[in-house]
Amino acid sequence: MYRFLVFISFVSIVFFSCKENPPTYGDVLAKEFEQKSYADFDTTAYVKVFNEVYSREKSQLHNPSWMKELADSTEGMTLIAAHLFDGSIDTMLNYFERSEEHGLRTSYFHTSAIKEALTSLRKLKTKDVADAYPLLAKLDLLGTDAFVAYVSSIKYGVINPKRLYGRYFVPQKRMNYGKVVHLLDSVKVGTVLADIQPKNQYYTKFQDLLENGNLNNAERRQVLMVLEKLRWMGSSFPEKYVFVNIPEQRLHIVEEGKTSQLMNVCVGETENPAFSKKGENHETPVMQGILDAMQVNPVWNIPSSIVKKELLASVRNNPNYLASRNMVAYYKGKQVDPATVNWNSDSVEHFRFKQNPGSDNSLGNVKFLFENPYSIYLHDTPAKQMFGQTNRAVSHGCVRVEKPVDLASYLVNNEKQAEKIAKEITTDSISKSRWVTLKRPMPVYITYYTTWLDDEGKIVSYPDIYGYDPRLKEALKKYWAD
């Protein structure tokens, strides 16, 4: 009821600010529609009709529970009532009619039904204001539901990627009821709709291809998936960043929209039988962060998953395995002598293992870190031969880089520092680990695009190594514009 009173105050100020007695909603309707009978608007009767309309339209709503709760708190006037005469509904419909620019069908936003109700309401000539109740209710209900759905779809994407992919680790903002209430209480419809249009430079390029690229059906669907993934991202790419595209299995250093350096990478193994002989699932997650530190001659803290699945079996088969791989074991923080351990005991599963710096360290001679809770980072590797393979989905999830010296030199952005690190990285001698804090932290995006654009703006395609595309295609079917 509070928000309904706020609405009445709003229309009072807008339409009757010079009068001593504030108008009713009926007064506003009567003045704007030039129908004197509308002054007899009966809120109780209207709410009853609104509830009847809600019952009929409920199955068509995208957020029926939110719409019902909003209606109960506003006497059935949730959004459209406050914008019935300021041009906002026409502006909103204009955006809905252009939703195919985003690859989304206009019918998803009730566009035709809203236009029909609005036209009928404007044409209606009656002596009984009750005749307008069903149109007002339908307009408000469908308009509010569509407005919320449009803002949510364009700002956050129509699909929540975390429901599709177990290893999608980019934080997601989604619409909730609290955000809906805030949106409707403070909204300037035209301003909101203009502000949420994606500004990402790749988004606008793919939009142009969608409209003017003469795409075949398969290419069109690929572009539609890219647009949705970019909506998940939300923001634009910065001026300089590191871009790892998992299906491409390459790393780009990008400056002002162009690739300044390019190198192969190895990404995580997959259970997809077309790309993995072992059937292992160590897929590199989709994530992003800020590269802010490097460790030269790193120590590898071996993850417990690798210990349980691989390392213990190797140690049990060969008691000298740890020494041969420059590894050490710890129990309760103290280093243990492998010769004194019963490796067939269950207690060894509680041991911690590290691999010391050296030419055989699995992380190579440098690792590049960005803060995340998943122990994912970029690193060097002694297995250089893997970079020459076509299928480089061979890691346990981290990203192995082909040219660690080039990447390190770029990140430190200092010639003397770069020369020092390059010397340390390329030496075969075992050295102490040391940390390098980057004075110029660099955004890094670990992404999954089977379709992308090259520096000339042409579409390039890559194999769907993790088999992600069919899931997204199926989820987007009901939203796609034909």
pLDDT in tens, 422-452: 888 776 555 688 999 999 999 999 999 999 9
Q: Where are the domains of the chain?
A: 2-195, 204-300+351-476, 301-350
Q: CATH code for 204-300+351-476?
A: 2.40.440.10
Kindly state the average pLDDT of the residues 304-326: 89
Chain centroid, CA 445 distance in Å: 12
Note the pLDDT of residue 20. Answer: 58
Which pair of structure tokens corresponds to residue 382? 């002694």
Q: Which one from 102, 252, 379, 396 is the annotated catalytic residue?
A: 379
Q: Is 461 exposed, middle or buried (0-12, 13-18, 19+ CB in 10 A)?
A: middle
pLDDT tens profile 133-187 = 999 999 999 999 999 999 999 999 999 999 999 999 999 999 999 999 888 887 7
Q: Is the distance from CB of 119 to CB of 135 less than 8 angstroms?
A: no
Note the pLDDT of residue 241. Answer: 98
Higher-confidence residue of 202 and 12: namely 202
Other CB atoms within 10 A of residue 234 CB: 17
Note the pLDDT of residue 112. Answer: 97
Active-site residue flag, 182: no
pLDDT tens profile 18-31 = 445 677 888 889 99
Cα angle, residue 59 at apex, residues 55 and 64 outer, rounded to 5°: 75
Residue 202's closest CA among 233, 173, 164?
Answer: 233
Residue whose tokens read 């206009």: 106
Note the pLDDT of residue 13. Answer: 41
Sign of CA dihedral 469, 475, 479, 482: positive
Kindly state the average pLDDT of the residues 276-294: 86
Query: Residue 3 pLDDT more than 70?
Result: no
Other CB atoms within 10 A of residue 403 CB: 17
Name the 3-class secondary structure at 74: helix
Active-site residue flag, 266: no
Which residues face 352 on adjacent strands?
330
> What separation in angstroms does the CA of 468 have from each of 218, 244, 270?
16, 17, 11
Kindly state the average pLDDT of the residues 291-314: 90
Q: Is the distance from CB of 410 to CB of 253 less than 8 angstroms?
A: yes
* Separation CA 171–CA 232 (nearest Å): 9
Note the pLDDT of residue 200. Answer: 94
pLDDT tens profile 32-91 = 999 999 999 999 999 999 999 999 999 999 999 999 998 888 877 777 777 888 899 999
Kindly state the average pLDDT of the residues 368-374: 92
Residue 174: what residue type? R
Name the 3-class secondary structure at 434: strand
Residue 301: what residue type? N
Angle separating helix axes 64-74 and 177-186, nearest 10 degrees: 50
